[in-house]
Amino acid sequence: MSDETPPAPDPAGPEPAPIRFFGTTWVHHDGGYGLRRAGVAIGSLALAAAGAVVLRFAFEGLEIAAVGSFLNALIVACFAVCSAVAFRRTWDRLTRPATDAATDRPVDRSAQSMLLIGFIGSLLAYFCRSLVEAPGEGVRRAEYAAERERYERRRKARTGNPAAKKPTKPKKKRAT
C-alpha cells in the first residue's frame, strides 16, 4: 500500500452511499475498515451460533412434548429450507445490484416471514460476505463508479464550463 492518500472526490460530484456498520469507510478502506469487517464477521457468526442454540432449545421442547417423529422431521426440514432460501436471497442482495428501484416490492414483502424463520441463513451469508469485503461493498462501489463516470462525462460535455476546457495555445501573429 502507498502512503499517499487518494484524492478527495469533487465536493460537487456524487457522494458514496453509506453501508451499515461501515458508513463510507468502504470507499478508501480507512477509518478502521479492517477492524469493522472483522467485527461484523465475528458478530454475525456469534449471532448465528446463538440462534442455533435457541432453535436447539425449541427442538428439545418438541421432543419433551413427544409430538412425533414426523412433526420433528417437518420442523427440521422447514428450518433447513428457510435458512437456505434466506442465505441465497441475502447473498444475492449483497452481491448483485437491485434490478428494481422499489425496495418494498410485493415479492420481498411476501418472503419476509420465510427470511425471519431462516435468520441463521441470513447471518451466515453476512458472515461469508464479510470475509471477502464489507457486505454490499461491491454493489455500492460499482454504483458509485458509474455515478462518478456519468458526472465526469456531463461535466466535460457542458459548454461554457471553464473547469473542463483545455488550455489553448496563443495564436502566433503572422509577419507581413
Q: What is the pLDDT of residues 142-154, one digit of tens each?
A: 889 989 998 888 8
Mean model confidence pLDDT for the chain: 82
Running DSSP on this structure, what letter comes out for residue 19? B
- Cβ(120)–Cβ(48) under 8 Å? yes
- The angle formed by the CA atoms of residues 19, 24 and 29, to the nearest 5 degrees, is 105
Where does the pLDDT of residue 103 fall: very low under 50, low under 70, confident under 90, or very high at 90 and above?
A: low
Cell of 39: 467485527
Least confident of 3-17, 72-86, 117-131: 3-17
Report the b/e string of 153-165 with b at 16+ CB within 10 A: eeeeeeeeeeeee
Give dist(CA 34, CA 26) in Å, integer.
Answer: 10
pLDDT(41) > 80? yes
**pLDDT score, position 84:** 95
pLDDT(9) > 70? no
**pLDDT score, position 1:** 47
Give dist(CA 24, CA 38) in Å, integer.
Answer: 17
pLDDT(4) > 60? no
Phi, psi of 30 (to 5 degrees): -120, 180
- Cβ(16)–Cβ(27) under 8 Å? yes
Cell of 44: 454475525
Residues forming a β-bridge with 19: 23
Nearest CA to 79 out of 51, 50, 107, 102 is that of 51
Mean pLDDT calculated for residue range 105-127: 84
* Global confidence as pTM: 0.73
Mean pLDDT calculated for residue range 43-68: 90
**pLDDT score, position 5:** 56
pLDDT(20) > 70? yes
pLDDT(83) > 90? yes
Where does the pLDDT of residue 68 fall: very low under 50, low under 70, confident under 90, or very high at 90 and above?
A: confident
- Please give the torsion angle defined by the CA atoms of residues 18, 131, 35 and 140, in that order, rounded to the nearest 10 degrees: -10
